[in-house]
């Protein structure tokens, strides 16, 4: 696998991880007991801290990308392992 492919996969997994992690650990102004700014949405976070989110997303993306690249290299799980539909020959025999 080319290093550019690994980098692209890492970036995609990083973005997905960041979006999945966004709602965790966030408190609204009501939950935190902080006064709201006029016009603020009720669901807006009281204190958004992107630093921990970036660190967590980076670690998770690095782990998942490593697992993906190793699986690509060694073929632990392939399409044949996941394919649950019968082949046309198996389908004809079952009728």
Nearest CA to 48 among 18, 11, 20, 23?
Answer: 23
26 φ, ψ (degrees, to nearest 5): -100, 135
Domain ranges of the chain: 3-94
Alpha-carbon dihedral sign for residues 36, 41, 42, 44: negative
Residue range 63-75: average pLDDT?
96
Please give the model's pTM, rounded to 2 decimal places: 0.77
> pLDDT tens-digit profile of 4-43?
999 999 999 999 999 999 989 888 888 888 888 899 888 8
| Highest-pLDDT range among 36-40, 50-54, 59-63 | 59-63
Confidence of residue 49 (pLDDT cuts 50, 70, 90): confident
Nearest CA to 9 among 53, 51, 70?
Answer: 70
Q: Does the pLDDT value for residue 60 go beyond 80? A: yes
Q: Does the pLDDT value for residue 47 go beyond 90? A: no
């Amino acid at each position: 696998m080319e290093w550019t492919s690994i980098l692209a996969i890492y970036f995609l997994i990083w973005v997905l991880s960041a979006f999945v992690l966004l709602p965790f650990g966030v408190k609204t102004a009501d939950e935190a007991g902080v006064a709201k700014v006029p016009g603020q949405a009720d669901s807006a976070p009281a204190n958004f801290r992107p630093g921990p989110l970036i660190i967590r997303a980076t670690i998770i993306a690095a782990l998942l990308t490593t697992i993906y690249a190793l699986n690509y290299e060694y073929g632990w799980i392939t399409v044949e392992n996941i394919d649950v539909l019968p082949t046309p020959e198996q389908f004809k025999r079952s009728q």
